[in-house]
Amino acid sequence: MPASPIRKLVPYAEKAKQKGIKVYHLNIGQPDIETPALELDAVRHSNFKILEYSHSAGNESYRRKLVGYYQKQQIAIDYTNILITTGGSEAILFAMMSCMDEGDEIITPEPFYANYNGFAVEAGVKVVPIPSSIESGFSLPPIEAFEQKITSRTKAILICNPNNPTGYLYSREELEILKEIVKRHNLFLFSDEAYREFCYTGEHFSAMRLDGIEENVILLDTISKRYSSCGARIGAMITKNKQVVETALKFAQARLSPPGFGQIAGEAALDLPDNYFDATKAEYKLRRDTLVKRLNNIPGVFCPNPGGAFYAMAKLPVDDSDKFCQWILESFSYNNQTVMMAPGTGFYGTPGLGKNEVRFAYVLNVDDINKAMDCLEKALEEYNK
């Protein structure tokens, strides 16, 4: 089971804090945006005498209400197409276990969300990475690269749109390219759309809107980032493929039901006004612009401009980002402050890639981002002496 590149340096951050050093956490996608009061109040004011199991697919009232949310995203589904999961994590795991057998392969562009590796280990399947380049901003690899990786064991392609860890926003044209590969080889297309609301350089186009592969698309979703509700542990696996839903429901029944209070919070969040995301999106865009500008002004650093989500991958003038990310926590501070980042290697499946890259999560306010960049600039000067 692979270690999380996002959390494996936690002991070094804790030791730094014990020495009185302030640590700026740019390593993990934990937003500092407040969870909507509407959600929290719905949980606080819940009025029932027994906290019962829900239906294994999730509360019907919640699933029916989600249909309206997806209609606003131009995604036409029925509530029976939705299976509520314990976070987006379980949605990914259920999709892998429902669509693939042990030893099957799933292709994904790299760098990719590190926990895909962990879920694949749990499901007994193999992640087959296709490198994308920081020089191109991590755009979709060419169709030939996918074709070369397809074998008799290939069952699915997995994308995250907008992407974690790169922030790249796949265009409709890129999704149409993937559609042709999926059709030609009769593959599943897993589309992780956890960051749908946060797009800055274009419009989000869901894989569920692709014509002609309705039975092949599995949408993976979560309220964690959308409503700053990571601890609620509520996600969804959505597909029009009834056989996949029926199979996934067996796994859902084995774990009994998704979290009760989390479903109450998720259902309440659907009553938020349509303009709820305007302020949040504007705030993340400001943070993105601040971070990217500061990074590219540091000598030897290159960071492409992310089109969505709240992550950025940057190339640093270091030989080993794992060592550097540990060193900056363990042996460095500037004005009694330091920075925690996620080393790039953990987001790649191909050995040797990402050695001089790190992922930043711009989930802190602009003032803190600027202070963190001050620390990083001084740290790189000292590290490279």
| CATH number of the domain residue 156 falls in | 3.40.640.10
Cα 210 to Cα 179: distance, rounded to the nearest angstrom: 7
Confidence (pLDDT) at 225: 95
Confidence of residue 10 (pLDDT cuts 50, 70, 90): very high
Is 313 strand, coil or helix? strand
**Is residue 155 assigned to a domain?**
yes
Q: Which domain holds residue 250?
A: 37-269
Report yes or no on 4 lying in a domain: no
Looking at the fold, whether 19 and 56 belong to one and the same domain comes out as: no
Residue 77: both structure tokens together: 């589904």
CA atoms within 13 A on the CB side of 90: 24
Average pLDDT over residues 281-289: 97
Judge if 72 and 117 occupy the same domain: yes
**In whole angstroms, how far apart are CA 45 and each of 38, 40, 234, 280, 378?**
11, 9, 19, 26, 49
- Residues of the chain with pLDDT > 70: what percent? 100
Please report where in the chains the tokens 């009994």 appear, as a residue: 256
**pTM of this structure:** 0.94
Query: In the predicted model, is pLDDT for residue 202 greater than 80?
Result: yes
Position 1 confidence tier, pLDDT thresholds 50, 70, 90: confident
Strand positions, DSSP E, the chain: 22-25, 82-85, 105-110, 126-131, 154-160, 188-192, 217-222, 235-238, 311-315, 337-340, 342-343, 357-361
Return left, alpha or beta for 86; rule: phi > 0 is left, psi -120 to 50 is alpha, else beta. Answer: beta
Residue 82 β-bridge partners: 238
Nearest in space to 308 (alpha carbons), one of 5, 18, 29? 29
Residue 2 in domain: no
> What pLDDT is recorded for position 79?
98
Q: Report yes or no on 193 lying in a domain.
A: yes
pLDDT value at residue 207: 98
**Token pair recorded at residue 148:** 């070369």
Examine the fold and report which residue of 269, 295, 330 is the final residue of a domain before the chain moves on: 269
Q: Is 4 a residue whose pLDDT tops 90?
A: no
Q: Could you tell me if 260 and 324 lie in one domain?
A: no
Cα distances from 175 to residues 38, 171, 187, 199, 234, in angstroms, run: 35, 6, 14, 16, 26
Domain count for the chain, please give it.
2
CATH of the domain at 24: 3.90.1150.10
**Are both 351 and 223 inside the same structural domain?**
no
Whether residues 30 and 42 share a domain: the answer is: no
DSSP string, 323-339: HHHHHHHHT--BTTEEE
Note whether 75 and 195 are same-domain residues.
Answer: yes
* Residue 119 structure tokens: 């879920």
Whether residue 305 sits in one domain with residue 163 = no
Whether 3 is covered by a domain: the verdict is no
Last residue of a domain, one of 252, 269, 286: 269
Same domain assignment for residues 110 and 259: yes
Average pLDDT taken over every residue of the chain: 96
Are residues 28 and 94 part of one domain?
no
The predicted pLDDT at position 2 comes to 79
Beta bridge partners of residue 156, listed in sequence order: 106, 188
Residues pairing with 188 in the sheet:
156
In a domain, 103, yes or no: yes
- Residue range 223-249: mean pLDDT, rounded: 97
Calculate the CA 171 to chain-centre distance.
17
Tokens of 8: 């494996």
pLDDT(3) > 80: no
In this structure, are 285 and 251 located in the same domain?
A: no
Give the Cα separation of 260 and 240 in Å (integer).
25
Torsion of CA 144, 149, 155, 158, to 10 degrees: -70
pLDDT greater than 80 at residue 238:
yes
Q: Give pLDDT tens digits for 48-79.
A: 999 999 999 999 999 999 999 999 999 999 99
The pLDDT assigned to 7 comes to: 75
5 found inside a domain: no
pLDDT at residue 6 is higher than 80: no
CA distance 238 to 240: 7
Predicted local distance difference test score (pLDDT) of residue 191 = 98
Contact 77/70 with Cβ under 8 angstroms?
Answer: yes
Task: Answer yes or no: do 145 and 281 share one domain.
Answer: no
Number of helices (H), then strands (E), belonging to the chain: the values are 12, 12
Q: Note whether residue 126 is domain-resident.
A: yes
Boundary residue ending a domain (269, 302, 318): 269
pLDDT in tens, 303-332: 999 999 999 999 999 999 999 999 999 999
**What single string gives the DSSP state of each residue in 76-142?**
---GGGEEEESHHHHHHHHHHHHH--TT-EEEEEES--THHHHHHHHHT-EEEEEE--GGGTSPPPP
Q: Domain check: are 104 and 165 in the same one?
A: yes
